Structure 1
Amino acid sequence: MAKIEVSGLGGFIRDQRDQAQMSLRQLAKAAEVSNPYLSQVERGLRKPSAEILGRIAQGLRISAESLYVQAGILDEREGDEAVTTAIAADPTLTERQRTTLLQIYAAFQAENSSAGKPHNNEQAEEPAVPESKDAS
Structure 2
Amino acid sequence: MSLARATTIVLTSAVVLGATLTAAPATASAPAAQSARAADCSVWADGRLHCGNKRGAKGYEHRSYRSAVRGTLTTTFSWFQCWGPGDHHPGGNNVWYWTKLDNGQWGNVPAVDIYTPVDPAPGLRQC
The structure in which a higher percent of residues are strand is 2
TM-score, normalised via structure 2 length: 0.29
The structure in which a higher percent of residues are helix is 1
TM-score, normalised via structure 1 length: 0.28
